[in-house]
Chains A and B, each alone.
Chain A
Amino acid sequence: MFQEFVQQIVNGLVLGSTYALIALGLTMIYGILGIVNWAHSELYMLGAFVGVFLVVHLKLPFLLGLVLAMLVMALFGMAMDLLVFRPLRSAPEMNMIIGTLGISIFLVQAAVIVFSPNPVRFPTEFSDAYLSFMGISITLQRLMVFCVTLVLIALLNYIIKYTTVGKAMRACEQNRDAAKLMGIDINRISLITCAIGAALAAAAGTLVGPIFLVSPQMGLAAISKVFAVVILGGMGNVPGAIWAAFILGLAESLTAGFISSYYKDVVTFCILITVLIIKPAGLFGRSQIEKV
């Protein structure tokens, strides 16, 4: 019982890490650019495929492959900003929504054509290594998902809190016009935000690809959960998204382990609906009234 419980906690942390890494980019792009990016989980899917290519085909060490996949997808995120977000920025909001849905459909179908619709295995040097402790065994891959996620969150936190770019990002999020008056180049901040968001999503894909399978549909399967995370954490709220990701990840895997895996999505969305009824701004939404 105890072992089962710990096992499910570990699974929950892995799931929560995935959600957190994807949700961070989604919530940042919403907060800073004001865009609801429906294509965001496709960056996770593509990141996983890039990871497969680098680690399985080019036989690079996993961690190097992870970093490279993040870099490749950061460039991809910048291209997305330049080619789709920027031209649509001054257009009506609906155009942007259709635009991001378009990117999503385009990327999924392109992945089906290029990589085939069949799921791909993504074995790494950590897949078969186990760590056993008090009768509980976890693969190193799972342990690494959680550890790398913590490192990335710490890094992101440092960037946002203490660097000039991070401060400029927060300024754009809090008051875009005032940010412009400070001389902040909004286009540059958008580009950086998209790059960071895409890199984090790619990290999620490369980290959990070896645990599950890699397929063109994996992004579509994740997006509704990730939106639940972002809404639960409060739209645009970075720490909120992190907490919400782990809350949902744990709730899901404990439900799957102790009730039934059929009910895990039910629990997720029940939590979401309950929170929205009680706290419409999200669990960590800003309820304080700001003086103007």
Chain B
Amino acid sequence: MLKIRDLSVHYGKIKAVRQIDMDIAQGEIVSLIGANGAGKSTTLRALSGLVKAAGGSVEFEGKDITGWNAKSIVEAGISHCPEGRQIFPRMTVMENLELGAYTRKDTKNLSVEYDRIFEYFPVLAQRRSQMGGTLSGGEQQMLAIGRALMSKPKLLLLDEPSLGLAPLLVEKIFEIIQNINREGMTVLLIEQNAWQALNIANRGYVMETGSVAVTGAASELLHNDHVRRAYLGE
């Protein structure tokens, strides 16, 4: 579904991502793990068109989407739920969700998505006319995921959905990601919480200083000595 070859991203002289290769197949959950500053978020930002790649190519469903702008990428079916939630603080929950569907032409059918999102996150239904900025951290994360789903994506990019959440809430978010995946959504998940992330993933990539250091099936990575020592705290 997604094929990344030799992707590099530079911020001025800093080479944040260096020639990485990555593949995601339809229906998978792929986890991208690594320390702070390893280039995970930058990779995602390049995929969604927020930063321009310095080199390499990205192919989505057979189309070369290298260098496309953010709008075309959303329209192609990739939705990015960014790190730190980035919801619109002075807009209501409903308006936030509505903007998630900004590129959609079939605005008559949005109620299907609203129902689905309120089913995943009943608390959002209760808070629908509340300003996004007044929600708790966990609720904001739910809103951010919900908003990303509104564009009816084929591939969902999730950047650190568990960041700063209480452990119980982290469990819940991961459970919902699995539910969303079971209903057919392909997910690329960035996490520092490597154990959780590999547990729900089919495959994983480990990034270190801008490159892919280790890759393989999630179950293998969970038993890989290097990964265990560096990311699973053993």
Contacts and interface: CB of A to CB of B under 8 A. Distances in A.
Interface of A: 164, 167-168, 170-171, 174-175, 177-185, 286, 288, 290-292
A10 to B, nearest CB: 35
B48 interface: yes
- Kindly name the residue among B89, B99, B135, B147 whose own CB sees the greatest number of chain A CB atoms within 10 A: B99
B27 interface: no
- Kindly name the residue among A178, A182, A291 whose own CB sees the greatest number of chain B CB atoms within 10 A: A182
B71 A171 contact: no
A290 B133 CA distance: 5
B91 A182 contact: no
A183 B102 contact: yes
Nearest to A178: B86
A175 B103 contact: no
Interface of B: 48-50, 70-71, 74-75, 79-80, 82, 84-91, 95, 98-100, 102-103, 133-137, 140, 147-148, 151
Contacts of A174: 88-91
B143 to A, nearest CB: 11
Given A177-B86, A180-B71, A291-B140, 12 more contacts: A164-B102, A171-B91, A174-B89, A175-B88, A177-B82, A179-B99, A181-B50, A181-B79, A182-B102, A183-B102, A185-B71, A290-B133
Contacts of A177: 50, 82, 86
A292 B90 contact: no
Contact of A183 (B75, B133, B137): B75
B86 A167 contact: no
Given A167-B98, A177-B82, A290-B133, A182 B90 contact: no
A286 B87 CA distance: 17
A178 B82 contact: yes
A182 B50 CA distance: 11
B205 to A, nearest CB: 22
A291 to B, nearest CB: 6
B70 A183 contact: yes
Given A175-B86, A185-B71, A180 B49 contact: yes
Contacts of B135: 291
A170 B136 CA distance: 22
B136 A184 contact: no
Given A167-B91, A170-B91, A180 B137 contact: no
Contacts of B85: 292
Nearest to A172: B88
A178 B74 contact: no
Contacts of A291: 89, 133-137, 140
A94 to B, nearest CB: 19
A181 to B, nearest CB: 5
Contacts of B148: 181
A164 B95 CA distance: 10
User: Which 4 A-B pairs have CB atoms at the shortest separation, nearest pair first?
Assistant: A183-B74, A183-B103, A178-B86, A180-B70
B190 to A, nearest CB: 15
Contacts of A170: 88, 90-91
Nearest to A185: B71
A167 B102 CA distance: 10
A30 to B, nearest CB: 16
A175 B87 CA distance: 8
Contacts of B136: 291
A182 B82 contact: no
A168 B102 contact: yes
17 contacts: A167-B95, A167-B98, A170-B91, A171-B88, A174-B89, A174-B91, A175-B87, A178-B86, A181-B48, A181-B74, A181-B80, A181-B86, A181-B148, A183-B74, A183-B151, A184-B71, A286-B90
Given A171-B91, A180-B50, A182-B100, A288 B82 contact: no
